[in-house]
A and B are shown apart, each in its own frame.
Chain A
Amino acid sequence: MPNKVVETPFPLIDADPHASRVIRYMRPSDYAVWAGATAAAPTALYLWDKWDPSKLKIRSQLRLGGLLGFVGGFLLAYQRSSFRFWGWTENKREEEKDFAELSDRARRGLPLYGESDQPEWIQGVAYRNSAFSQLKFHIFPMFNLVNHPHHGTDPEKYKPKDEPTSTSTSS
């Protein structure tokens, strides 16, 4: 699968961020969306029952609705955070945070995107499966759980300026 070059209005930070990074980089507004979506499902079900009484016990339904709202809210927040990594939405804060984090890893001589014990071709498969999968979160969640080296950015920018460019950049 050839790499898709996507025109983005903001700088690209990571084309296929690891799930842990996406969650760590979430903004308070993402958590608010997550919480709001979690609350919205049982609220909608409750109001629906108030409007059109089913005359049935709805406690279990509300719990189930809450669980589904939690899942939907998480996916929504994950999408929002991912779009900032891709540079599709405003991402100044994430850009600075990413630069600080990865520069620190580069300075300490660690692989930029973590280590993986998988062979390289498996990492490639993982990348191809999870790249841009956030766009289809309404159907199927496919998170990147592999520390592969395919992130669409130049690792050189994270290397200390005063040191030779021999630092390992990826696994």
Chain B
Amino acid sequence: MIFLSILILIVAIALPSVNQNIRTILYVRISSIIFIYAGALAFNAFYIQSIGSGIGIYSGLFQVTVISQLLDTFIFLIGGLILISWPSYSSKINVIDRLPNVREYSLIVLFSSLGASLLVSSADLISMYLSIELQSFGVYILSTLYRDSESATSAGLKYFLLGSLSSCFILLGSGIVYTYSGLTQLESIYNLISVSENIQILQGITFGIVLIIVGYLFKISAAPLHNWAPDVYDDSPTIVTIWLTIMPKISILIFLLEIQSQIGNSLLTIFSLSLKNLLLISSLLSLLIGTIVGLSQSKIKRLLAYSTISHIGFILLALAINTEQSIDSFLFYIVQYSLTNLNTFLILIALGYVLKNNSQTILESFQDIKYINELKGLFFNHPILSLSLTICLFSMAGVPPLLGFFSKQFVLYSAMQSEYYFIGIIAILVSVISASYYLKIIKVLHSENKEVIEDSNDNSPLSSLHSFMISTLTLFIIFFILKPSILLNSTQLLALSLFYY
């Protein structure tokens, strides 16, 4: 669906008769619908019993598993929801005219999602590398979406150069694995390392896999390879940051799960431990850096970038433990993180529309909320949006009974059960500390602003669907506790499928 849609959209954009009649916003809406269709197709092929441990497709270059099918559905659903955040129409100032006229935006997000979905199903070093590059190229271009903006261009260049470096690690790791094993298919590599007693081969393969994982940790901005993330997230337009913080991370984390679950169980203990320790060190550093450095931030997107790094710490902790329960919590955390982050950024974009739309000056590019102080006194002008943001931030901080609390609880519970006491206690401490920077935003939101903010509801480009999604996601975060079984059972089923098939 995605591939055919890309072809159709390329033709539509190339044909002047079609292209002149369809504006950027309409292409974005079409892409959103395409994502919903792709999600429906992925879900239609979700047969737990028949798929079992997985089915190789395309000559074994890719594999379909229960996890890949359900996560594909989730990725496309999130992709479709992200696109809803594009503005529709403003009566006073046409925001659409202020947005860069990039019709290719729809194509780029489709290309990036194509790579994401392929990466989730990759079963070969070559298909893995091509998939990650396809996904990455899309997001590099996305971050330079505002070509006239100096900060967006510099963010894009920085992202491209550092992303290329991480791709080099992945390529080097793949080369080393091939050198020592003569294999590119992951299944064959797992089989080789589970039966081989040659230490040299095992060392070589382990080293290659460690390099591949380092490359991926770089791409998901896990500490200590996180330095690019705050700069890139802050300098990119929020409408792009929302994509960068969610979409590439889901697919990479699921691919890491595949590697960790297979290789972690196949390798000799000593080599398996080296992978586990790599993830644990990265997790510990992500927890500490994401929390402590986040405390000193005054820009909202930089703060959220550090918050993301801290969340990655929790996710990597669950991944490193690699038990049924931890994988369950890993999947649940990814779903929770995606939904909460999506809602937070949808609200930030909405606030950008309602706050910055009053400006009568002609702006070079569409303005985003940059500083936390810009949110001052917002509760008194936009109480519903402010309350929604507050709920999201409370959820991220892990305040019960919101969705974020359960995800942190599950990770910590599995850590304690597997006797990872030290990192478990660190995670609890940083969770408490990180609550302070979320509370800082909430305090600013609810403190009275002496400057009068002109009410801009009449000409707000905030669309009804955008508001509807914010309210739905906020209600889901609040009322998850009333009916948690669907989500919890789904993640548990997926985790069990990894261990018992």
Contacts and interface: CB of A to CB of B under 8 A. Distances in A.
Nearest to A125: B59
A136 interface: yes
A137 B1 contact: yes
A48 interface: yes
Contacts of A103: none
Interface string A57-98: 111110011011101100110011001001010000000000
A170 interface: no
B224 interface: no
Interface string B21-43: 11101100110011011111110
B408 to A, nearest CB: 32
Interface string B450-468: 0000000000000111100
A80 B62 CA distance: 21
A133 to B, nearest CB: 5
B55 A138 contact: no
A76 to B, nearest CB: 6
B72 interface: yes
Contacts of A68: 5, 8, 30, 33-34, 37
Interface residues of A, number: 52
Contacts of A125: 59
Nearest to B27: A61
Given A64-B12, A65-B30, A128 B1 contact: no
A20 interface: no
Contacts of B30: 45, 61, 64-65, 68
A136 B12 contact: no
Given A6-B50, A7-B49, A68-B37, A48 B29 contact: yes
Given A45-B33, A72-B37, A132 B42 contact: no
Contact of A44 (B33, B56, B89): B33
A54 B8 contact: no
Interface stretch (B114-122, B203-211, B342-350, B480-488): B114-122
A148 to B, nearest CB: 14
A100 interface: no
A102 to B, nearest CB: 23
B400 to A, nearest CB: 35
A131 B57 contact: yes
Contacts of B4: 71, 75, 141
Residue with the greatest number of chain B CB neighbours at <10 A, chosen from A51, A76, A139: A139
A140 interface: yes
Nearest to B41: A138
B245 interface: no
Dominant SS among interface residues on chain B: helix
Interface in B41-66: 41-42, 44-45, 47, 49-52, 55-60, 62, 64
B192 to A, nearest CB: 16
A41 interface: yes
A53 B55 contact: no
Contacts of B23: 54, 56
A64 B30 CA distance: 8
Contact of B41 (A48, A54, A72): A72
Interface string B285-299: 000000000000000
A80 B41 CA distance: 10
B466 to A, nearest CB: 8
A76 B44 contact: yes
Interface in B367-423: none
Contact of B33 (A41, A51, A60): A41
A9 interface: yes
B121 A138 contact: no
Interface string B6-25: 00100010000010011101
A88 B8 contact: no
B338 interface: no
B239 to A, nearest CB: 16
Interface in A106-148: 125, 128-129, 131-142
Given A135-B64, A141-B4, 9 more contacts: A4-B56, A53-B88, A54-B23, A64-B8, A68-B37, A71-B4, A125-B59, A137-B1, A140-B2
Interface of A: 1, 4, 6-9, 37, 41, 44-45, 48-49, 51-61, 64-65, 67-69, 71-72, 75-76, 79-80, 83, 86, 88, 125, 128-129, 131-142
27 contacts: A1-B59, A9-B50, A41-B37, A45-B29, A45-B33, A52-B88, A54-B25, A58-B26, A60-B21, A69-B33, A71-B4, A83-B45, A88-B50, A128-B59, A133-B58, A135-B51, A135-B55, A136-B45, A136-B62, A137-B1, A138-B38, A138-B76, A139-B114, A139-B117, A140-B2, A140-B3, A142-B58
Interface pairs A-B: 8 shortest CB-CB: A60-B21, A72-B37, A138-B41, A52-B463, A52-B88, A138-B38, A138-B42, A1-B60
